Amino acid sequence: MKLTLKVWRQESGAEEGHFEEYLLEEVGPEFSLLEALDKLNDDLVTRGEEPIAFDSDCREGICGACGVTVDGRPHGPQEKTPSCRQHLRSFEDGATVQLEPFRSGAFPVVKDLAVDRSALDRVIEAGGFVSTSVGTAPDADAIPVSHESAEWALDLAACIGCGACVAACPNGSAQLFAGSKTMHLATLPSSSKERGRRAKGITRAAEAEFGPCSVYGECAEVCPAGIPLTAIAGLNKEKLRQVLRNKDD
């Protein structure tokens, strides 16, 4: 099959960007989106042109490194699927497909389709951890966790940290990301002793780095890990709980 790729090119964050069109031939429906970019880059290098910069690593949907906005939708047309697992079978032969970086004020462009998502880690640094040093842990079997709680924590912990939620949000909010982390740790007994402190830290950092949440729900729509909107409700509840109790736990 053939595709026309309309790709955002930008030398660096300091320079203006623009779209360029490339004809991509001899690809097939079994190609992943990123394999199509690999092939295009091979063509570009052969022609002596600069290849397209994009982040990607595991290519199996778990590391969260990749993230391309495809025809205006973060990651691409297939639901609950990161860019590396999007396939050309989603597009019609001969179609024009527009590829842009994840768009958000909090994600400055590094080059072409690669962006700087370090703001997400600054949210984690503000409380998305457990204040337990190595060596002091009690027996993991001594504190029973119900099957249901463990599964719910896992549903929330599935977040791959890609930032699609931010790119999809009209406000550029990271509440789905922040909610998934907060609720995952609040659900488990070993990490629930600093719920108040964590809710306060995470919400403050998320508000400082990202936009506010208006519950449009666009984030959950594009999340490759299927994090439910409930995570945001949970985050709000955790924050309210902290405000009312004003305690660390």
Partner 1 sequence: MTASSTTQPHALLDELRTVGSDLPGLGSDVPPSQTWADRRLHYRMVGPLNRRKFTVVVVGTGLAGAGAAAALGELGYNVESFTFHDAPRRAHSVAAQGGINAARARTVDNDSIARFVKDTVKGGDFRGREADAWRLAEESIRVIDHMNAIGAPFAREYGGGLATRSFGGVQVSRTYYTRGQTGQQLQVAAAQALLRQVSMGQVNLHTRTEMLDLIVVEGRAQGIVVRDLVTGKISAVTGDAVVLATGGYGNVYYRSTLAKNSNVTAAFRAHRRGALFANPCFIQFHPTALPVSSEWQSKTTLMSESLRNDGRIWVPVKAGDHRPPNEIPEDERDYYLERRYPAFGNLTPRDVASRAARTEIDAGRGVGPLKNSVYLDFRDAIERLGRKVIAERYGNLFEMYSDATGEDPYEEPMRIAPGAHFAMGGLWSDYDMMTSIPGLFVGGEAGWGYHGANRLGANSLLSACVDGWFTLPYSVPNYLAPLLGKPKLSPDDDVVRAAVAEAEAGVQALVDIGGTQGPERFHRRLGDLLYEKCGVTRTAEGLAEGLRGIQELRREFWSDLRVQGRPDGFNQELERAGRVADYLDMAELMCLDALDRDESAGAHFREEHQTEGGEAQRDDEHWLFASAWERADSGETGETGPRYIRHQEPLEFPSVPPETRDYR
In the window 165-204, what residues touch partner 1 (CB under 8 A)?
Answer: 184-185, 187-188, 190-191
In the window 88-117, what residues touch partner 1 (CB under 8 A)?
Answer: 89, 110-111, 114, 116-117
Positive or negative, the CA dihedral 201, 181, 118, 203 is negative
DSSP 110: E
Instruction: Choose between 148 and 244: whose C-beta lies nearer to partner 1.
Output: 148
- Going by C-alpha positions, the residue among 133, 89, 104, 56 that lies closest to residue 218 is 104
Task: Write the Ramachandran bin of 212: left for phi over 0, alpha for psi from -120 to 50, otherwise beta.
Answer: beta
20, 28, 105, 215: which one binds partner 1 (CB under 8 A) = 28
Instruction: Choose between 207 and 216: whose C-beta lies nearer to partner 1.
Output: 207
Q: Is 68 helix (H, G, I), strand (E, B) or coil?
A: strand
20, 57, 93, 248: which one binds partner 1 (CB under 8 A) = 57
Instruction: Choose between 87 and 239: whose C-beta lies nearer to partner 1.
Output: 87
In the window 3-22, what residues touch partner 1 (CB under 8 A)?
Answer: 11-12
- Going by C-alpha positions, the residue among 29, 33, 40 that lies closest to residue 86 is 33
18, 147, 170, 244: which one binds partner 1 (CB under 8 A) = 147
The piece of 40-48, 92-100, 211-219, 229-237 that touches partner 1 (CB under 8 A) is 40-48
- Residue 137 touches partner 1, criterion: CB under 8 A: yes
Positive or negative, the CA dihedral 145, 146, 151, 155 is negative
